[in-house]
Structure 1
Amino acid sequence: MSIFLCDSYYEDVPTLDEVKHEISDIVGLREVKNQLETILEKIIDAEKDASDGFRVVPPKPFHMVFVGNNGTGKSTVARVLGKLFYLSGALSSYTVTEMQGNQKMKGAEGGVLLVNIDEEDPINPKTVDKIISAMDEGDSSIIFAGNQRALNQYMKFNNELYKRFSARLQFDDLTCEELAMILQKKANKKGEDNLMCGFEFDASCSTENITQIIAEIVPGNLSSILNAHLLDQMLIEAKKVADKRGEKIIYLRDLGIGIQNGAQIYKSLLNF
């Protein structure tokens, strides 16, 4: 079951320093971060070799499988990979285009095509053929993403597709502490277009306290289905509580109510 979908991500032209910061800013996913850092170091080494006069041959783009539930960071990592492949010279674009598996084939424009696999929405065979052709052309990097069951079920009947993947990354569910850390990062972001614009957390909203509230209020099965996708609605609900009071400070009690109300909204949405 896929709930969230975005067609394309367009960002500013990346630099190695910016991508390095993005990788370090990812919460959890230790093994995935290690692999991203390895790719980053190879790019840095290649740039050094080029500056020293050595001939550097850009790597070829490769195709990957991302295994994990909703909200575990698959789209975030796809965007980082797109930038890394672009900076290495493997891809001509750093744009990430995202599509649902049952949609008409989208062009990746020389960047990354992220295909979300859903058990309830199988890919049309004609679309599979077009994806395989795109993989063989080698102008783009194709990433298939979904939970373990959906991917296993799909790949079992699509060997021609499966054998074209070169790497598999595992995205584990986020712990309550990791969800708390992401919640704090969202709250600390500045800018008019940020979710928390004009609002800020009180000092009582520590990682430890937020972790405890999430553990007590959010059902484990709901958290494993949505992970970080839960958090925006929880912040919106917490802001409503503070706003009713006529304040821009979100106290721990406000956040607790926001977390509870946000969880209830998704429980109702998913018929829990």
Structure 2
Amino acid sequence: MSVTNCETFDEHLREVKREISSIVGLREIKKQLESILEKIIGAEKDAAKGFRVVPPKPFHMVFVGRNGTGKSTVARIIGKLFYLAGVLSSYTLTEMQGHQKIRDANGGLLLVKIDEEDPISSDTMEELIAAMDKGKSSIVLAGNHRALNQYMKCNLNLYRRFSTRLQFDDLTCEDLAMILEKKASIKGESDMLCGFELDSSCSTDSIARTIAELTPQNLRSLLNAHLLDQMLIEAKKVATPGEKTISLKNLEMGVQNGAEIFKNLLNL
């Protein structure tokens, strides 16, 4: 195992367990993460009994899904799982956009975001292939179905090096409501999203209905969870001055105003 200190291993294990359990939506992917975690725990028990445990080699993945569906969150968790399993020497996640020069993942996981408007250069593609063949890091290509298909068709040498594909479906209105509740529960005064709480009128069901009624489907599909920060900010703007709670009425106005801002930005 990469993590030789038992206390450190247990700390990382508890942290990853919490992160997996806190995932909203992505039910099938969550099951796969839990399965990987169980295998890691089993291998650690075998190692403690003196059995020889050979960690697998790093492998590479494709994450297919629209914006805001949790690709970065899952990549971060997988990086930690691979570290605990001894696949990687570091649990760090390095992110880059397609046009950027490839960054050194330092034995961790490299998340490369593919965008139709921001394609990977041929030089970067060659660097990615070289990094994959070196075998010290795991690389994840992430993007929507159209962007990834266009890119893979033109780069078969790269495509053949990926062994796993995960599908990130759009979040439901109930999923979005649960994420919004989690965001609103963050304590602190450090930014515009902290320091307020939802009052008792803001149940998961009522928030989900509000999102369903006041946001168009095409907008939710384009942005998913990326919608929510702006909606909370807008709800706080219309709250009673001096109050530290957001009512359902405030939230309805915030959802509507936030949706209008994104519709104008995206010309929807």
Q: TM-score range by the shorter chain?
A: over 0.9
Mapped contact 2:66–2:223 kept (Cα < 8 A)? yes
1:62 to 43, 59, 67: 59
Q: Secondary structure at the match of 2:141?
A: strand
Please name the residue that 1:168 is paired with: 165
Please name the residue that 2:180 is paired with: 183
Measure, in 2, the Cα distance between the counterparts of 1:26 and 1:212. 21
Pairwise CA distance, 1:109: 1.3
Pairwise CA distance, 1:92: 1.0
TM-score normalised per structure 1:
0.92
- Give the alignment of 1:229-244 within 5 angstroms: 229-242=226-239, 244=240
Pairwise CA distance, 1:246: 2.4
Deviations along 1:210-233, one digit per CA (max 9) or x if unpaired, are: 011100111100100000000011
2:254 to 236, 254, 258: 258
Please name the residue that 1:211 is paired with: 208
Structure 2, unmatched stretches of 5+, are 1-7
Q: Which amino acid in 2 is paired with 1:261? A: N
Measure, in 2, the Cα distance between the counterparts of 1:106 and 1:263. 35
Q: Which amino acid in 1 is paired with 2:244? A: K
Alpha-carbon RMSD across the aligned residues, in angstroms, is 1.5
The 1:41/1:198 distance shift into structure 2, 3 A limit, reads same
Pairwise CA distance, 1:196: 3.8
Residues 1:88 and 2:85 aligned together:
yes
Structure 1, unmatched stretches of 5+, are 1-11
Q: Which sits farther off after the overlay, 226-235 or 104-113?
A: 104-113
Pairwise CA distance, 1:245: 2.9
Pairwise CA distance, 1:46: 0.6
Q: Which amino acid in 2 is paired with 1:240? A: K
- Give the alignment of 1:67-82 within 5 angstroms: 67-82=64-79
Q: Which amino acid in 2 is paired with 1:250? A: I
- Count residues in correspondence: 260
Deviations along 1:110-137, one digit per CA (max 9) or x if unpaired, are: 1111011111121110100000000011
Mapped contact 1:186–1:195 kept (Cα < 8 A)? no
Regions of 4+ moved over 3 Å: 191-196
Q: Which amino acid in 1 is paired with 2:94? A: T
Measure, in 2, the Cα distance between the counterparts of 1:262 and 1:230. 7
Please name the residue that 2:263 is paired with: 267
Mapped contact 2:186–2:195 kept (Cα < 8 A)? no
Mapped contact 1:64–1:142 kept (Cα < 8 A)? yes
Deviations along 1:14-52, one digit per CA (max 9) or x if unpaired, are: 611110111111011111011111110111001100111
Measure, in 1, the Cα distance between the counterparts of 2:257 and 2:57. 47
Measure, in 1, the Cα distance between the counterparts of 2:141 and 2:169. 16
Q: Secondary structure at the match of 1:15?
A: helix
Please name the residue that 1:134 is paired with: 131
Q: Which sits farther off after the overlay, 145-154 or 244-253?
A: 244-253
Mapped contact 1:65–1:167 kept (Cα < 8 A)? yes
Pairwise CA distance, 1:195: 5.3
TM-score normalised per structure 2:
0.94
Mapped contact 2:24–2:178 kept (Cα < 8 A)? yes
Q: Secondary structure at the match of 2:267?
A: coil
Measure, in 1, the Cα distance between the counterparts of 2:161 and 2:188. 42
Percent of counterpart pairs with the same letter? 70
